[in-house]
Structure formats: C-alpha cells, structure tokens
Amino acid sequence: MHGAPILLTNTDWRHALLTNREQTLERIYAKVYPMALHYVKERGGSADDAKDIFQEALIVFYEKVVHDQLVLTASISTYLMAICKNLWLQELEKRARKTSLESLPPDIGALDSDEEIGSDTIQLKEFVNGLGDKCRDILVSFYYFGQKLEHITAKHGYRNIHTATVQKFKCLERLRKAVSHLSIERFHL
C-alpha cells in the first residue's frame, strides 16, 4: 500500500480532508514529500527549502479541494509535484534576481561627486532611492522581485491588501512626479 499511487476522485479528496484532515495530509506528506525533497535538493535547495515549497503546494491543494475548485486529472503526487516544481523555479528566479541586485556596489544609486544632475544619463535607481526606505522597499519588492501584495502587506504590517495597494500607488506617484520633468532618453536602467 505504501508504494501504490493515491488515486481518489475530487469528491473523495474533499470528503477525506473534511472528515479526517490530519490523517489524510499525513498520508499525502509521507507519499509525496520525499519526491519534492529529492527534486529541490537536486536543484541546489536544502531540506528546509523543500519543506517550505511542499507545504505551500499542500496548502494550494488543500484550499482548492476544500473549496471545490480542483478538477484532478492526474494522481495527487503528479499534481503536487507540478506545483512544487513551479514554486521552486519561482524561488530560484527570485534568488537569482536578489543575488544580482546584491552584487551591485552599495552606492550604485548615489551620484558620483563629479557627476551633475544635468548629465546625459541619469540612473533611475537614484530616484527610487530618493523615495525613502519604505517606498523603495515596496516598489522593488513588487516590481523587481515580483512579490505578491499579500507578502508586502505582512512584511510592512499593513492591515490589509488594500492598504498596501494604496501605499504602493502613492510611492509610484511620488516616483512619477520626481521623474516627470525628464525624458525617457535620459535614463540608464
């Protein structure tokens, strides 16, 4: 039984999760987590990375099943591994972007002492840095790292996503006003 695929219909999964959630999730975890662990480790991740990715995948599966939003056309292990693979690829992309951003000199956004504001090229980073730490963090998190507003809401302690959205909009408007007098040709991205 341990090596056999877990094949249930959508209705069976929903019933199993609603009536005996803990045992059902433990059964899925025991069957599929080793595959996720192997996948993540083979692609440069750690056991902790694999746990995080698998738990996110399991939450997606659970919510879709319980809210009757899932039409399962493959085994649960195939479905969960597809989610894990997508989540791990997204994580690797985020890490690559973060690494490339961290490899820049810390003063990349600052003007050189002999550089004037009226020079032929102006770094957009200068204007983003001029917004302040909170606005810079929100805009970079959202637009550069592709973080969801839910994450930004939690990170900055906003009451809800709407508040974070409004703050992001205000920061973006401040940036637009700061660069409105310049033409696009003057920016060096």
Helix (H) or strand (E) holding 122: strand 122-123
Per residue in 19-43, pLDDT (tens digit) is 888 898 899 999 999 999 999 999 9
| DSSP string computed for 88-114 | HHHHHHHHHHHHHHHTS-TTTTSPPTT
**Calpha distance 139→53 (Å, rounded):** 25
Burial class (CB in 10 A: 0-12, 13-18, 19+), 50: buried
Q: Angle formed by the axes of helices 47-66 and 76-102, to 10°?
A: 130
Cβ atoms of residues 61 and 70 within 8 Å: yes
Per residue in 98-151, pLDDT (tens digit) is 776 665 555 444 444 344 444 434 566 777 778 888 888 888 888 888 888 888
Cα 48 off chain centre by: 17
* pLDDT at 7 (0 to 100): 52
State the CB neighbour count (10 A cutoff) for residue 131: 18
pTM of this prediction exceeds 0.75: no
